[in-house]
């Protein structure tokens, strides 16, 4: 597929900050969402991002800012593409807040910082605020911060927030940090256990699982107005240098193929950038609910993303008119992309979280069942050993996996290779007009795959006589 890059580089001022941390579980998401809410409450136009392949944190961001949050991932995309995606999603916002992933320097492997939050900060030249979990510590937090400042010369860390620290300890330790390290101390977050976003199921919860989410976020924002120096945080974001990127234009598919996209409580894992690419390539997206609607809407193609279908297995199975609609359309040749939860839904049977099996769509032979541990976890390159309807021979698309459920029929049409290249396995179905498996795809790593999908969708419309 041709990608026409404009020769002139685009530059503009995009105030921005990155919220990093010493490790996972340090409070990044709670602090990011509370800060976003505080900025919104001040009347600012805010955009938000999440480093890495996370789906759920952007859902929380989106609930706060009232617009889709995007991902920034340097495994999925090269540096130029990440710059373009950031500028495209940041738009004309007053401030962009980027939430880091894992520990600030944690990357693709145990010893690498590649694709880490730090890597994103360097690529986009973002001032970073380091969140330090200070529970049970006082002067030791100075040593922690010093270690992060000394680990890399170009660390980009410009300030710190001390999480789970009392006001009394903070008032004493702040001066020590300033004197010893010369770094901005931007405030503290007192212990608020009732307000923390707790882990559950696949490691996190979705916004729908938290009662009174908006009131909680406003409570946190009100606390932050007292304990964080939000004026200084905004000023820090404005120190970010003018941002330059190379705009890109993609040649769309003719005819505006209409794509039905499953979206509800059970199917909610989708990248904003994937949806944007579909639209850039000419697709018209129409959303529907396998849980609540009776049938797939009139469409030329079908996408079933991941989510938590195992939590809604009984209700999905009971919606027989939807299951019949999917089976009949796919029997007629409706092109379909399905990943993880969507792939599970296409099986003959699915086991729910309580151990009960329920009939599903029956498009993929076999059943999905729960296990006691993560079956697959992490980044992968998906390569076609032989050509299929969406990939040429040896062509690859980047993806990631994270699932506790397994299948008796994972497929064997693609080869998945871990990012480190030290392990590979067969997976996925890529025959006829079905492209389905556990891996979550990132479309911009192989936009040709999506253009071919839309072209087959357009052909399906022609085959069924739907073109006016």
Helices (H), 42-78: 56-65
How distant, in Å, are the alpha carbons of 63, 159, 339, 389, 408 from that of 379? 27, 31, 14, 23, 22
Catalytic residue among 33, 268, 340, 361: 340
Q: 410 an active-site residue?
A: no
How far apart are the two ends of the chain, measured CA to CA in Å? 27
> How many residues make up the chain in this entry?
468
List alpha helices for 259-380, DSSP H. Answer: 272-280, 313-318, 320-331, 341-345
Query: What angle is formed at CA 384 by the lines to CA 253 and CA 346, rounded to 5 degrees?
Result: 75
For residue 278, how many other CB atoms are within 10 A of its CB? 22
Q: How far from 105 is each of 177, 254, 357, 398, CA to CA, in Å?
A: 21, 44, 42, 22
Contact between residue 344 and residue 429 where contact means Cβ atoms under 8 Å apart: no
Distance of CA 347 to the CA centre of its chain: 25
Residue that the structure tokens 């480190």 belong to: 420
Closest of 381, 392, 385 to residue 442, by C-alpha: 381
CA 143-148-150 angle, to 5 degrees, is: 90
| Residues with Cβ within 8 Å of residue 175, at least 6 apart in sequence | none
- In SS3 terms, 341-371 reads as HHHHHCEEEEECCCCCEEECCCCEEEEEEEC
Query: Which of 351, 339, 276, 256 minimizes the C-alpha distance to 313?
Result: 351
Catalytic residues: 340
């Amino acid at each position: 597929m041709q990608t026409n890059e404009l020769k002139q580089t685009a530059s503009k001022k995009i105030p921005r900050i990155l919220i990093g941390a010493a490790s996972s579980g340090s409070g990044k998401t709670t602090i990011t969402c509370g800060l976003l809410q505080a900025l919104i409450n001040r009347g600012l136009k805010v955009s938000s991002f999440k480093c890495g392949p996370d789906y759920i944190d952007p859902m929380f961001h989106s609930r706060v800012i009232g617009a889709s949050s995007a991902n920034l991932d340097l495994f999925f995309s090269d540096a130029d593409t990440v710059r373009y995606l950031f500028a495209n999603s940041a738009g004309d916002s007053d401030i962009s807040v980027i939430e880091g992933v894992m520990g600030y320097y944690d990357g693709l492997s145990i010893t690498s910082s590649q694709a880490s939050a730090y890597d994103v900060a360097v690529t986009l030249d973002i001032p970073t605020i380091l969140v330090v979990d200070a529970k049970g510590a006082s002067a030791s937090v100075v040593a922690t911060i010093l270690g992060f400042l000394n680990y890399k010369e170009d660390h980009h860390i410009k300030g710190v927030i001390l999480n789970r620290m009392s006001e009394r300890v903070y008032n004493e330790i702040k001066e020590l940090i300033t004197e010893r390290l010369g770094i901005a101390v931007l405030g503290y977050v007192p212990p608020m256990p009732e307000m923390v976003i707790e882990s559950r199921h696949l490691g996190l919860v979705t916004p729908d699982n938290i009662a009174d989410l908006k009131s909680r976020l406003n409570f946190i924002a009100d606390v932050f107005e007292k304990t964080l120096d939000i004026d200084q945080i905004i000023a820090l974001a404005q120190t970010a240098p003018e941002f330059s990127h190379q705009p890109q234009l993609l040649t769309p598919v003719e005819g505006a193929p209409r794509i039905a996209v499953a979206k509800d409580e059970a199917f909610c894992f989708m990248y904003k950038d994937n949806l944007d690419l579909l639209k850039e390539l000419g697709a018209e997206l129409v959303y529907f609910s396998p849980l609540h609607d009776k049938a797939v809407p009139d469409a030329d193609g079908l996408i079933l993303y991941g989510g938590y279908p195992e939590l809604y297995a009984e209700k999905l199975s009971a919606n027989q008119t939807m299951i019949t609609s999917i089976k009949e359309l796919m029997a007629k040749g409706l092109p379909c992309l399905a990943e993880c939860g969507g792939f599970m839904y296409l099986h003959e049977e699915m086991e729910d979280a309580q151990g009960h099996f329920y009939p599903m769509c029956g498009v993929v032979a076999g059943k999905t069942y729960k296990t006691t541990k993560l079956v697959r976890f992490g980044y992968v390159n998906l390569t076609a050993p032989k050509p299929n309807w969406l990939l040429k021979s040896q062509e690859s698309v980047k993806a990631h996996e994270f699932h506790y459920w397994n299948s008796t029929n994972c497929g064997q049409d693609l080869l998945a290779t871990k990012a480190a290249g030290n392990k590979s396995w067969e997976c996925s179905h890529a025959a006829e007009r079905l492209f389905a498996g556990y891996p979550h795809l990132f479309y911009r790593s192989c936009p040709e795959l999506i253009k071919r999908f839309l072209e087959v969708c357009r052909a399906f419309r022609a085959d069924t006589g739907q073109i006016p």
